[in-house]
Structure 1
């Protein structure tokens, strides 16, 4: 983020501080004028009258003598010293605010490298005091940025500084490994938590670990975690059950999914909610089973569960993928009628629907309407636009979208780079594709399965088998758990 110019108020406060400091020299007569007047009188009396016996003054009695002068100076000195101390304190407070605000901005903008740099600067300052809350925010940021080893280093640093770990901090570290699919390390952290009386795992710890196992299709581990929870009298909540529900659905285990759902209906602690509804609708919508999605929508409504904005966005996305534009428009009109706002996700789903078929005209119209309503575009918006222009063969507009994303400071994550790589492969521009991939690595943006599959397919199309071999070796090295720990 570029630094903006200082506001006009800063110059105003500066001028006022000058005038306040000048007061001591020009406005206060008790400090300056009497002193000079008494000295002139003393000199005049010596030169005009006969010599007299020198009077011995008591200490501090005569305000014009050296002792009195020194005393007056000493009387003014504390005022100056206090002002200097206040200025130093003001500057110090300004520096504290600048560093802490910079750290907060880096965390909020998900700039993990900059956040670590600013944090190192903060630690070197004399006013620094370690706080568990700061470490928590940084560990969560690093976990979400795919940097579990940095999160571990930070956790160890926190302990070295004398802060006591908590269950929440351990859970944040465990989540960092889970997000990078390093499940073995996550289980080690779980076992460590069990040995610490004040850091016992709770339902949130188990829910995060269960989600990681579900995402990795390790349903055998899911069952063992459920057993551990039962032994510890930890009851799965609705979030946990929704996670498992979605996992079973993604791998097509609909019988187990239905079993979990029926259990939720009979439970008093994990009743189905709108998230359950959205999970089921999103599952069948993504699979293109629109009729099944619609039936479940009616069932949940009969359960007394009311839809929300995300529910309608799921329906719009599902209809868009099936090119059912009439139903897509109907849902959008229904949202307006019920005063549900159109969100960024609403527009993204419509843009994506036109992007998939390379309908640049309607895609542009939707994007213009989105910006006209003051809706902020995000990374997915530009991913859809880039892919849409690539599908339409308008590669010059792909470049324009990449430039616009840079101007708007859109976060360039793995999905964004994948969209650009997709466009390069679509245009058979393999040199540019390699440059994008190298830039991705320079920014320490982790490649995924989609990245490698698109590039391998592009190389195979051109018969570049040596490139395919090198890329597969790089993928194997990058995706291995040992490599993930040192990234």
Structure 2
């Protein structure tokens, strides 16, 4: 550009600074500000704010604070965007006292916080669990003539769920229309999931009904949470009816939720039927699915079937499956079956390494098999593990 006698302006420099920041080359970008001044181009608020955001994203808060001071010294007054970026960085390291000071001094510094500024601050307080301080900011916003936004209500809702104040969260959802807040399916799923965690299944189902009444279409996750709730309430057959609805595109997580429910209830038949239903719906089981099936078979003392199941998982076999099998066999004093399993593993080309050896030895010791009455059987197992049987 210089060769063509065309001098770059601030916009051109800002683009170059942005590219450097996107490439994480913050110090080069910082040096570029000095280069702008040397070339007679005055840096703009955007010039500084782009670097400021980069510092905050990298957790370099001290550098970010110094940059703001440098802006002021250079006669470039930071605006609401600059201070909002700095506040977000300070929140990430829980420097809330500094945030309070920045907001308190805003009028003296010639800038006015907006709703986005407060939302950033409230989100930081919420993530730290400072619920009362978060709600206090709403009153401060109103006192400064700012109305809470949809994002504000989302943050408050998240706070209530994090603090297990579920009754207040439910009220917030029920009065969402009055607040001008579009409570989407994600909000309902969040609250339903937390209620499942504490075993309040009645309110889970009520929220699912509210979703339908308000015309907010439940998604796959809504029904997966409902399945989890039904299993927790002991209504496994109702949950089974839900998952039989092929119009809902359930994934492996939904099926695993039901299988886990049957597994906890000791219902091997339910586990097997759901497992087969997955295949008929062309949903591939994952390692967790197989582990649940193997656990269910062992809980029902179907040792041979469990070993056959494991033997069929050549492509999906992981050490955890082997550890599960060995632990169950050792605890059930099935020494012959342990030996048969080890032979089967070796026959199929798997290495009997420390992932299998150490957990098996540990469980044998915990079960007291080091005593004289069982030492011969244990010796056979250890010999087999060492490959010298």
TM-score, length-scaled by structure 2 = 0.51
Report if the CA contact (8 A) 2:122-2:137 is conserved: yes
Counterpart CA distance in 1 for 2:34 and 2:197 is 47
Counterpart CA distance in 2 for 1:314 and 1:105 is 42
Shift of 1:177: 0.7
Residue 125 of structure 2 corresponds to 213
Report if the CA contact (8 A) 2:30-2:51 is conserved: no
Counterpart CA distance in 2 for 1:228 and 1:239 is 16
Q: Does the alignment pair 1:116 with 2:34?
A: no
Secondary structure at the residue paired with 2:176?
helix
Residue 215 of structure 2 corresponds to 304
Return the structure number with greater helix share. 1
Residue 190 of structure 1 corresponds to 103
Report if the CA contact (8 A) 1:236-1:270 is conserved: no
Shift of 1:174: 0.8
Residue 160 of structure 1 corresponds to 73
Counterpart CA distance in 1 for 2:149 and 2:74 is 35
For structure 1, list consecutive stretches of 5 or more residues without a partner in the other structure.
1-82, 337-352, 360-387, 395-425, 428-487
Whichever of the two has the greater Rg, that structure is 1
Over 3 Å counting, the alpha-carbon distance change for 1:127 and 1:251 in structure 2 is same
Q: RMSD value over aligned CA atoms? A: 4.7
1:302-451 equivalent positions in 2, closer than 5 A: 302-306=213-217, 312=220, 334=248
Report if the CA contact (8 A) 1:288-1:318 is conserved: no
Over 3 Å counting, the alpha-carbon distance change for 1:85 and 1:201 in structure 2 is closer
Q: Does the alignment pair 1:246 with 2:164?
A: no
Secondary structure at the residue paired with 1:137?
helix
Secondary structure at the residue paired with 2:49?
helix
Report if the CA contact (8 A) 1:175-1:208 is conserved: yes
1:171-190 equivalent positions in 2, closer than 5 A: 171-190=84-103
Over 3 Å counting, the alpha-carbon distance change for 1:357 and 1:171 in structure 2 is farther
For structure 2, list consecutive stretches of 5 or more residues without a partner in the other structure.
251-284, 292-316, 324-354, 357-389
Report if the CA contact (8 A) 1:143-1:173 is conserved: yes
Residue 34 of structure 1 corresponds to none
Counterpart CA distance in 1 for 2:288 and 2:35 is 51
Secondary structure at the residue paired with 2:187?
helix
Number of aligned residue pairs:
256
Secondary structure at the residue paired with 1:171?
helix
Report if the CA contact (8 A) 1:242-1:279 is conserved: no
Over 3 Å counting, the alpha-carbon distance change for 1:132 and 1:393 in structure 2 is farther
Residue 85 of structure 1 corresponds to 3
Counterpart CA distance in 2 for 1:211 and 1:161 is 32
Secondary structure at the residue paired with 2:146?
coil
Q: Does the alignment pair 1:258 with 2:204?
A: no
Shift of 1:103: 4.7
Residue 138 of structure 1 corresponds to 51
The one of 63, 66, 83 equivalent to 1:170 is 83
Over 3 Å counting, the alpha-carbon distance change for 1:184 and 1:292 in structure 2 is same
Counterpart CA distance in 2 for 1:136 and 1:171 is 10
Residue 335 of structure 2 corresponds to none
Counterpart CA distance in 1 for 2:54 and 2:208 is 35
TM-score, length-scaled by structure 1 = 0.42
Report if the CA contact (8 A) 1:144-1:179 is conserved: no
Secondary structure at the residue paired with 1:265?
coil
Shift of 1:173: 0.8
